[in-house]
Structure formats: C-alpha cells, structure tokens
Structure 1
Amino acid sequence: MKAAVLKTIGHSLEVMEWPDPQLGTGEVLVEVGYAPVLPYTKDVITGKRQYLLEPPLVLGAGAVGRVLQVGPDATVLKPGDWVLCDATVRARDNPLFPDITLQGWSARGEGGLVLQRYFRDGSFAEKIRVPTECVVPLGEVDASFAPYWCAMGTLLVPFGGLVAGHLQPGETVLISGATGNFGSSAVAVALAMGAGAVVTPGRNVKMLDELVRRFGARIKPVVLTGDAITDQEAMRSVAGPVDLVLDILPPSVSSEVSRNALLAVRPYGRVVLMGGVGMLGGPELELPYPWIMRNNITIRGTWMYSSDTPVKLVRLVKSGLLNLQQWRVTKFPLNQIDAALHFAAVDQEPFTLTVVEP
C-alpha cells in the first residue's frame, strides 16, 4: 500500500510502498477515506514537540474510513461500515492504570512505547489496523460528508476535558486558549453540551470577534492585556462566577497565561488542565496553596479522554447539537503530503480542517 512514512525524526515524510497491515484477533482493518492533518504536524516530524516516537512508522493520528475486515471476535462491525478510527490506544492488561499510545503519533512512557511498537502505523496510508475498541461506528454516512468527521480528532480532546470537569447545562465555562485550534473546538463543544456562557480570553481580537459572530451572545470575550490583576478581574466579571476552567493552551504559551485563567474560577469551582504548557521548559505553574485550600478548588489533569468518549461525541453530532459542517475542509491527495503539512500549519483560523485522502 501507499503510505507517508517518517523514517527518522527531523526528516520529511516519504510517500512510498509500505507493507499492508495484517489483521489479528481484537483488531479491525480499515480503508482510510480521510485522515486529519493537525497544524503542528511539522513540529512532531522535526522533534520540536519532543514526542516519544520510534521511527520508522507511518505518521497520522486518527481517520475516517470504511471497514475492510474484522477479527473473529467482532460482533457488530462488518465490512463496508463507515467508522471513526480513534488514535488513543490503551493497553488491555491493566484497566486501572492503562498504558497509552497515540497510534501513529506519540506514546506516554515506556509502556506506551511497547504499545507503539505494535500499533505503530498511523493514518497517512491507504489502510490502517486499529484495535476493535478504537473503531467507532458512524452509521449511515453520505460520502460527501465523510471528510467533516475528521474534525472529531480535534473535538475529542476538549470534549474529554469538559466531561472530566463535569460541565453541567447552564454553567459558565472559561476556555483558556479559546482562539487556538483545540480551544475554538472546545468552545463549540461546550455550547453543544449546554454551557450557559463561555468565557473566551485571548489577544487575537479578530478570532474573538469571529467566535461571537459564529455563536452569539453566549460567548463572552475578554481581550487580555498582560496585566495579571486586570485580566483576572475581567475574566471573573464578564459572565459572573466561572464554574469551570478548561486550560488547553499550546506548549508555546507562558505558564503565567494559564495561571491567570485558573485564578478566575469561583470558590468550589473546577479546573481541568490538558494543554501543553511547560512541555518546552520555562517557569512552572505556580498556584497558591491557601487559595486552593480555602476556596475548595478542584484541579484535575486530563490527558486525552476516557474510552467511551468517542461514542458519546458521535451521539452529540448525530443529535444535531454539534454541527461539523461549520468546519471548512481542504483536501489533499496523499502524494501531496508536504503541501498538506504546510497548508495546515499556515491555515490555523478557527474551524478550518486539513485532510489527506489516500
């Protein structure tokens, strides 16, 4: 099959012939229809993101496609089904503390690398072998709509964070990083889940205005000034008490920005940390012990999401509460993978989606 292979960190992807994946028990073979290209894919390839990867491997996290073959233990899936391939692969031999790898993307720790050595090849290929539990049926899908399902790769992350933070209908949630790729998706998901108001701090006024134009009065923008006291007060007051803060800032942002957002949460409020702050070095996130204790603040770290999250998000889309067609999709054939990577890196406005079509 044709695949885009990362032979070594720091070298460009090479589109080449690659061995077809061989199906085993507990696995599904999927013909890749479309695979999302994340804006920071080049940072993974160059090693800037410092992800755990052991090349050579086929890069690419997640896909939308059709089932080619199922293992002998599959009871629902059948050839021809449209499915979402979730890149988050969990070890099956320790349900309490499962090791995790992101197929074709990264691993968490040594246990994650063990998984990666088997489920190593990702979605920039004509076919992909996926654990059965990572294959989510989509039901009837119009072929012209299929590329939009690739937005799930970005939506799943903030959805997992909001679920972990127990967002309730009518609550006010603050999205720290709201003008970015994952952050703007978090805004859409929070509204679909019934948030009464979504506070969107940021410096990019154009993107803040776009969120208001797109979603209306429930969006409460805050233009950050860089002054901690001023910014915290603005975030606290723009929509009343903040029940939940979801921080999903990228590694390039200072921890001070995260800290200011976290300190805007109300007493007895919740905070979910799932961004990349600190991954590239710099000052740590310093939060005041007395403030956390006396205000009964709950702080939770969340990496990715629970195993049932993709099914729940598919249902949210199918219900009509979350409209994937608000994304603008740009498609590239697999043999133009370099052009796709470049386009994804520069086309980073909210609700834009780059995909490859093997």
Structure 2
Amino acid sequence: MPSQNQSKALVLHKIASPLHLELQDFAVPSPPSHGSANVRILASPISATTSKFLTGASTFLTFPTPFVPGHSAIGRVQSTGPDATLLKEGDLVYVDSFIRSRDDPVTTQILLGLNGGPHAEQRHLMESGWPRGLFQTVATTPLENTHRLDAETLLNRFGYTVSELAISIPRLSIVYGGMRAVDLKAGQTLLVGPATGFFSGAAVELGVALGARVIAISRSAPGLERLKTTLSRTYPDRPALETVVVTGDVSADEAAVRALLPTGSPGIDAFIDLSPGLGTQPSHVQVGFGALRPGGKVALMGGIYGNLNINHAQLLYKSVTIKGQWMHTKEEVEELLRMVEAGIVKIGKTAGYEVRGEYPLEQWSEAIELAAAGDEWAKGYVFTPLKE
C-alpha cells in the first residue's frame, strides 16, 4: 500500500521532442488546507493530444515547467480540509479540471494539469495555487472541483468501471455546457457538426439522451453509421438519430439537412459547432447557420483559430443568438452527474464505450503513444495510478 503522505507523479521538466517524463515523489499535505481535499487517483484519461501539448507540437495550451499533467480523474477521498462539510474519506469522486479563481471567477480560469492560460493572473493561479495535475497517485484538489459520486449505483447497480467513468464524464460535462448554452429541450432539433470525434460524438449522444431530435453531420460515413447503430440500441425510446454525410457543397449539404426536418419546419432549433483545431473555417459552419430557424441558437465550442465567414443579414433577420461556450459551471457538472446516476444518460460497454487500455504511471510512454493514434467517439486510454 503506497504511503498516504506521499504521491508518485509523472513530471515534465522540459517541453521537447521526444517526450520525456519522470516519476517523482511529492509530499502530500496532511491534513489538506482549507478548501481542498486529498484524492487517491484510480483512473485519469489520456487525451489523444497529450503528446502534442507536452512536446510543443501544439502551442494552443500553456503551462509552466516542471509540470505534472493530467486534467480529470476518478478517485477516492483520502482526507479533506477542515472546512469540508459534504465529502468524507472513502467517497468516490470525479475531479473536474476547470478551476475558477475564488476571488475572480469570471476572468481568471485554468484547466488543472492542462492549461494555465496567457495572462499573469492565470499563471499565478496555476503555479501558486494548483501546480500539479492528476497523473499521480494522490492529488490535492479544490473542494468545488471534487464531485461526490453514487458509487453503489454507478459501480454495483450499473456495473460501470472507474475507467469508463473517467473517459465519459469529462467529455459529457463539457458538451453539456453547450446544451445549456442553447437551452436545448426535449423534442427540439439539434444539429451537431462535426459529429464523430471524441467530443463531438459526445454532443450527439447527449442530445439523443436528453430527448432531442439530433442531426449529426460529418465527412465520415462509417463514423456516422456507428453512432446511429449504437445510439439506436442504447436509447430505443428516444427520437432516432439522423445523419448527413457532408460534401463541402454548402447549399447541397444544407438542403440535405432540411430534408430531414418535419414538413413545414422553419429550420433547426440549435447548432453546436465542435470543430477540431483548425486554421480555416470548415464548410459545415455555414450549413449550421443556414439551417437555423428564426430565433435559433448557436453554441461555438470548437477550435477554429481564425475568423468566421457568416451571413450578417441572415443572422439579423432571423434574430439568431450566438454564444461562445467555454467549458461549464459547477452546477452543470452536478446536473450531468445526476443524470448519469439516474440512468438518463448511459455509459459503459452497452452504450458503446471502450476502454482500450489501462496503464500504470510507469508505462507512460506506451500509453501516451497509443492514445495519440486515435481520437474516436467513446474510446480511450487511461492511467490507473492506484488500484482498488
């Protein structure tokens, strides 16, 4: 049994290629300070982009070195600070990475173990407040980011594993922020584009779970077919997922989307863009805006780095609402967790989830290399620093 007073962590000392991480021991504060908890990490997902960020191949996210990566996790509470009133030792928890400054929550935000941001206040919050991410055995986490889970329901009744929870909850939480941004309601029509990636596929499955009429658009016909087959089996009582394989011809693709709407429908109710990191605007963005009904809503959640080319008059006369949506609130994470615990939102093998590999921290090189090879919906790799 590892010591409760020490944590073994993966540390990046230099951003360089080839990637090199070292296992290093850190003292665990005992007891943890006010507003924090010590969490024994059972499973932490490995993003497909982990290697790119840690080697400097992608510079979209910033962080200091030395640096302990790892941006979300499932774990057990080891101990709590003196002001904790809900969390108790042994509780199963989800650790969310989106940290807001307690005295400046609107403008100063970081992603634990992932991104400090470009501003001095953000760098200070990461370096002085929460310098170490979750690729370690015991992590000190903010109480407000440490969400208690119903272990009896999730692990025993539903039979989910901690690794399945680790690859599902972070992505579903993020896209739920988009659902709330467009005020999605059951029975409304939601267009998601693209729709077959790790996060975009999560928006499709969550929209279906919430009872929306979802239209998924992508260039990948096999990916769309997998989504449709899996979700029809997982949610047989929800509106059937509709799909469109886009061609790049905006007019033809918009016509294909509109052909799926009920007779007389003025357009889709909402469009969520989840484009991967791109320097130019993909054609599906214009398809989404063009297919909106008057009063429709858009949530921009993707990684387009440049400007958007959209029709100003079309937005004006349709009274379209556009919202950039960065992450989510604490309350939205809690809402999503309660829906998973109630069985409204399903995860696990029967819902199409596949944990492709579980690795101890010592096997970091193999794990990160394998994770980099794929970014598919509902599939992923995890570190399992500690076992139950």
| C-alpha distance in structure 1 between counterparts of 2:260 and 2:145, whole Å | 40
From 284, 298, 304, the equivalent of 2:327 is 304
- The answer to whether the aligner puts 1:103 opposite 2:100 as a matched pair is no
Deviation at 1:166, TM superposition (A): 0.5
| Conservation of the 8 A alpha-carbon contact between 1:2 and 1:15 | no
User: Offset at 1:186?
Assistant: 0.9
Q: Specify the SS of the correspondent of 2:217.
A: strand
1:45 correspondence with 2:54:
yes
Task: Supply the AA of the counterpart residue of 1:114.
Answer: H
Distance change (3 Å), C-alpha of 1:2 and 1:79:
same
- What is the aligned residue count? 352
1:15 aligns with 2:7: no
Match among 245, 252, 258 for residue 223 of structure 1: 245
| Cα distance in 2 between the residues matched to 1:228 and 1:85 | 41
**CA shift at 1:198, angstroms?**
0.8
1:292 paired residue number: 315
Q: Secondary structure at the match of 2:27?
A: coil
Q: Residue 158 of structure 1 corresponds to which residue in structure 2? A: 175
Report deviation, 1:253.
6.9
Distance 1:292 1:13 in 2: 49
Once the two structures are superposed, residues 9-59 of structure 1 have per-residue CA deviations (whole angstroms, 9 ceiling, x without a partner) of 224241312313422110011000000111111121122142121111110
- Conserved 8 A contact 2:9-2:26: no
Report the CA distance shift for 1:226/1:9 in structure 2 as closer, same or farther (over 3 A): same
What does 1:67-216 align with in structure 2 at a 5 Å threshold?
Answer: 67-95=77-105, 97-110=106-119, 111-117=121-127, 118-141=129-152, 142=155, 145-150=161-166, 151-195=168-212, 197-216=213-232
- CA distance in structure 1 between the aligned counterparts of 2:116 and 2:293, rounded to whole angstroms: 35
> Which residue type is aligned with residue 241 of structure 2?
I
Q: State TM-score, norm by structure 2.
A: 0.87
Is 2:40 the partner of 1:31? yes
The answer (yes or no) to whether the contact 1:4–1:13 under 8 Å persists in 2 is no
User: In structure 2, how many angstroms separate the alpha carbons of the residues matched to 1:107 and 1:177?
Assistant: 27
1:53-90: per-residue Cα shift (whole Å, max 9, x none)? 11111101010000011000000111111000010000
Query: What's the CA shift string for 1:206-231, capped at 9, x where partnerless?
Result: 00111111123621111111112111
Alpha-carbon contact 2:208-2:241 (below 8 Å) kept: no
Q: Are residues 1:268 and 2:295 paired?
A: yes
Higher mean C-alpha displacement, 7-16 vs 70-79? 7-16
Task: Determine the structure 2 residue equivalent to 1:55.
Answer: 65
Give me the whole-angstrom Cα distance separating, in 2, the residues matched to 1:256 and 1:50.
19
Structure 1 200/254 Cα, relative in aligned 2: closer, same or farther at 3 Å? farther
Range 78-87 or range 348-357, more displaced: 348-357
What amino acid maps onto 1:166 in structure 2? Answer: D
Summarize the alignment of residues 337-352 of structure 1 with structure 2, pairs less than 5 Å apart.
Answer: 337-352=364-379
Shift of 1:98: 4.0
Identity %: 29
State the TM-score, normalized to the length of structure 1.
Answer: 0.94
* Unpaired runs of at least 5, structure 1: none
* Amino acid in structure 2 at the alignment position of 1:53: F
SS of corresponding position for 1:160: helix
Matching residue within 338, 351, 361 for 1:334? 361
SS in 2 for 1:259: helix
